[in-house]
Amino acid sequence: MIEVENLTVRYGGVTSLDGVSLVFEKGTCGLIGPNGAGKTTFFNVLSGFARPSSGTVRAFGDDLLAMPHFRRARWGVRRTFQTEQAIEEMTVYDNVAMVHSPLRGAARRADVLAAIEFTGGGLTPYARVGTLGAGQRRLVEVARAVAGKPRLILLDEPAAGLPDEETAHLASVIRAIPGQTGALTILVDHDMSLVSAVCETTAVLDFGKLIASGPTAAVLRDENVMRAYLGTAEVAL
Amino acid sequence: MADPVTVTTSDSAAAAVAAGRRPLLRRPDKPVQLSVTTVLVLFVLFALPSLMNGYYTGYMTLAAIYSVVTLGLGLLVGRVGLYSLGQGAVVQIGAWTGARLLYGTAQPFPIVVIEAGLVTMLIGMAIGLPALRMRGLYLALITLMFAGAITVVLATVNFPNGGGGFTGYNGSAVHIPPIRRPSIAGTDPAYFRFAVVVAIIMFALVYAHLRLRPGRAWAAIRQSEPAALAAGINIWFYKLWAFALASFITGVAGAVLAAQEHYLYSINFTTQDSIILLAVVLMGGVYSLWGAVIAALLLELVPGWLQSLGLSYAWLTILFGVGVLQVITTAPAGIADQFPKDMKRLGRLLWRLARRPAAGAAGAAGAAGGETT
């Protein structure tokens, strides 16, 4: 469970997150909002890439903000990036094995191979990532996120730019993550069909403020959410 | 009753899967490359010393020693993206420490070499600590200034020549004893072999690092620091580790260099050496271990060729400058990457030329088929 209280992030004069308080309980949760709403900033705060000017984040009772980035990964935070960051010159295996893991030796190898097998999509451990297509590279990042006993997985637009069949495969993988790892998974994406297919609950940000949260279906029908995405006039019609 | 049964079957299934995976755990080795390397190493160790005259033995020994230096610099540049212009100074620290210990103590030679490496590693890390906060141009500048500072300090302190005190320098010494060599490698050909063996050990050390966790961490850091951080890699620690490893092997090379030269004079080491080192490392290729060997051969053999052609030493800087330009524009992975590709292309070309006139129309069809594969 992630409890965020009164989180504010400022970049110079821009307030990316403005006093956001929200709770992600368990399973797979969605975080949506128009461009510039502060979704990636929220991920950056959780994974340590941005420092909030105020607010607290408690993850399963621990104070996340007190840890430097690499400690958060050791604690169990995993994230993927909007622009995929698979390391080209390494194999799939090494890309997944680079993540911090409490396991050692054979158990660790088995865990890495299991993560690769779990993400599927035709990934083979000893293929060089530089030779893979965009969809498979996304899967390499997802495999890295599920390896090494994660507790909180942050997926930042994993389906961006993928064709429909690869998005469908990704959706099935993401839906299986909580069962596979027991980790709380937060998904940021613009693809509403993916979010509604995968997430039980969803929170919506707009201009750095939380405008709705709750069960995904209800949130997507929410008047404020439709207004944020479509503009007032269309909703009034 | 049913429960344990399912557990055992799932266990045996897991074991079967693990057994199926085991061959995958080893990366497919490259038998051709391995055998070529082995033959080359055996040739260099056993045949080459008897084929070379004294002049070439000296230069090839230096090439073996400097291949370790270029290996260290290639590691920093190619694997971690740290551009150091101070490696010449690191060699000097290793040489000074090695010489001081060889004059001042009766320890076995290999022990002294390792100690020189460790001392150099500590100094290199002390330099690295503040320098790691910088990147690119700023790191290059800081390390260049460090190289300049070391050159100035050694010009004042001088290299040890068997004197007493901390510096081991006696300005009025008349009969200077040579820096000793290991008892088994007193002659030049034997010392060449010794230097090659040391180089092989250092290459093996670096190779092991690259294959294991540090190698993964360095590759991640070089391509994407955010990805490395998100994966829990302590970037600062692994960069310092790269600095430490590079300094250690460079220090070892420095100590071996001290005994090769017999006498060390600060006038023979200049700040410019560090710049030339970076140039040859870029030309040789920073992404492969072979690049370090090629870089060292360039560094030691090209000046000799220039001399035998009657050209001035100043041409060296121009030649290397052109070489670096060439590398940056057309072959960013250096000669180590470009040469095999060029040879393959040449081989294909020759193959096609050989096939064409001999077999007429059928040969042309065959050549076209060969082209598509």
Measured CA to CA, the distance from residue B229 to residue B224 in angstroms comes to 9
Q: Which of residues 19-58 of B touch A (CB under 8 A)?
A: 21, 24-25, 27-28
pLDDT tens digits, A173-226: 999 998 888 899 999 988 888 888 899 999 999 888 888 888 988 888 888 888
Helices marked H in A20-132: 39-47, 69-75, 92-97, 105-119
- Range of the structural domain that residue A165 is part of: 2-236
How high is the pLDDT of residue B200?
A: 95
The partner residue sitting opposite B24, judged by closest CB among A69, A87, A125, is A125
Interatomic CA distance for residues B228 and A146, integer angstroms? 15
Q: Is A88 on the interface with B (CB under 8 A)?
A: yes
Burial (Cβ within 10 Å: 0-12, 13-18, ≥19) of residue B148: middle
pLDDT at A193: 85
Place of tokens 């050390």: B205
Does A87 sit within 8 Å of B229, measured CB to CB?
Answer: no
Q: For residue A230, with 0-12 CB atoms within 10 Å meaning exposed, 13-18 middle and 19 or more buried, which class applies?
A: exposed
Residue type at B98?
Answer: G
Q: Which one, of A81, A63, A83, lies nearest residue A71 by Cα?
A: A63
Nearest C-alpha of chain A: how many angstroms from B100? 42
- Of the candidates B27, B217, B219, which has its C-beta nearest A89's C-beta? B219
Beta strands at A152-156 and A184-188: parallel, antiparallel or unpaired: parallel
pLDDT tens digits along B53-80: 888 899 999 999 999 999 999 999 998 8
d(CA B289, CA B301): 19
C-alpha pair distances (Å), B152 with each of A35, B147, B157, B276? 57, 9, 9, 18
Question: Is B4 in the A-facing interface, judged by CB distances under 8 Å?
Answer: no
Sole residue written with tokens 């400022």: A10
Name the residue ranges covered by the structural domains of chain B: 33-170+184-270
Closest CA to A9 of A85, A59, A65, A60: A65
Supply the DSSP string of B152-211, one letter for each residue. HHHHHH----S-STTTT--TT-SSPPPPP--GGG-SHHHHHHHHHHHHHHHHHHHHHHHH
CA–CA separation, B218 vs A98, rounded Å? 10
Q: Which helix (H) or strand (E) holds A145?
A: helix A134-146
Q: Other C-beta atoms within 10 Å of B5: how many? A: 9
Mean pLDDT, 10 residues at a time, chain B of 373 residues: 40 46 48 83 88 88 96 92 90 94 92 96 88 80 90 89 80 81 89 95 94 89 88 90 95 95 86 90 91 93 87 85 89 87 91 75 46 40
Weakly modelled stretches of chain A, pLDDT under 70? 230-237
Which candidate, B189, B181, B183, B198, places its Cα nearest to that of B260?
Answer: B181
Distance set, CA A36 to CA A10, A41, A144, A219 (Å): 13, 9, 27, 19
> In angstroms, what separates the C-alpha of B298 from chain A's closest C-alpha?
27
ipTM of the complex, rounded to two decimals: 0.83
The DSSP annotation for B200-253 comes to HHHHHHHHHHHHSHHHHHHHHHHH-HHHHHHTT--HHHHHHHHHHHHHHHHHHH
For residue B20, the chain A residues in CB contact (below 8 A) are none
Q: What is the pLDDT of residue A231?
A: 65
Closest CA to B72 of B121, B135, B127, B116: B121
Written as six digits, the tokens of B191 are 């010392």
CB-CB neighbors (< 8 A) of A77 in chain B: 230
Q: How far apart are CA B175 and CA B138, in angstroms?
A: 45
- Chain A contact for B18 (CB, 8 A cutoff): yes
- Residue ranges of alpha helices (H) inside chain B are 2-25, 31-42, 48-51, 54-74, 87-104, 109-131, 136-157, 188-211, 213-223, 225-230, 235-261, 272-284, 289-308, 314-330, 334-372
Residue A114 makes CB contacts below 8 A (sequence gap 6+) with none
Task: Report DSSP state, residue A35.
Answer: T
Distance (Å) from the alpha carbon of B239 to chain A's nearest alpha carbon: 14
CATH of the domain at A65: 3.40.50.300
Closest residue to A70, CB basis, from B18, B223, B233: B233
Chain B residue with Cα closest to A100: B232
Task: Judge: A125–B232 Cβ closer than 8 Å, yes or no.
Answer: no
Whole-number pLDDT of residue B358: 58
Window 140-159 of A: residues touching B by CB (8 A cutoff) are: 144
Q: Alpha-carbon distance B250 to B74, whole Å?
A: 11
Chain A contact probe: residue of B11, B22, B24, B80 with most A CBs at under 10 A: B24
Residue A166: in which H helix or E strand, if any? helix A164-181
Nearest CA distance, A109 vs chain B (angstrom): 8
From chain B, the residues in CB contact with A98 under 8 A are 216-217, 219-220, 228, 231, 233
**Minimal Cα distance from A148: which residue of B?**
B231
pLDDT 10s digits, B207-231: 999 988 899 899 998 888 888 888 8
pLDDT in the model for residue B359: 53
Q: In chain B, which among 221-250 make CB contacts under 8 A with chain A?
A: 223-224, 226-235
Query: Which of B227, B295, B36 has the alpha carbon at shortest distance from A90?
Result: B227
Query: How many Cα atoms within 13 Å fall on the side-chain side of residue B297?
Result: 9
Instruction: Give the C-alpha separation, A78 to B232, whole Å.
Output: 9
- Measured between alpha carbons, how far is A153 from B288 in angstroms, rounded to an integer? 36
User: Total structural domains in chain A?
Assistant: 1
- CB contact at 8 A, B199 and B64: yes
Identity of the residue in B21, B24, B219 whose CB atom sits nearest the CB atom of A87: B219
End-to-end CA distance of chain A: 39
pTM comes to 0.81
Quote the minimal CA–CA distance from A131 to chain B in Å.
16
- Quote the minimal CA–CA distance from B84 to chain A in Å: 23
- Pick left, alpha or beta for residue B299 (phi over 0 → left; psi -120 to 50 → alpha; otherwise beta): alpha
Give B324-327 contacts, CB < 8 A, sequence gap 24+: B324/B279, B324/B282, B324/B283, B326/B283, B327/B282, B327/B283
Tell me if B25 and A109 make a contact (CB, 8 A cut-off).
yes
Which residues on neighbouring strands pair with residue A154, listed in sequence order? A79, A186
Dist. CA B85–CA B278, nearest whole Å: 7
**Interchain contact, B230 vs A126, CB within 8 Å:** no
Q: Rg for chain B (alpha carbons), in Å?
A: 25
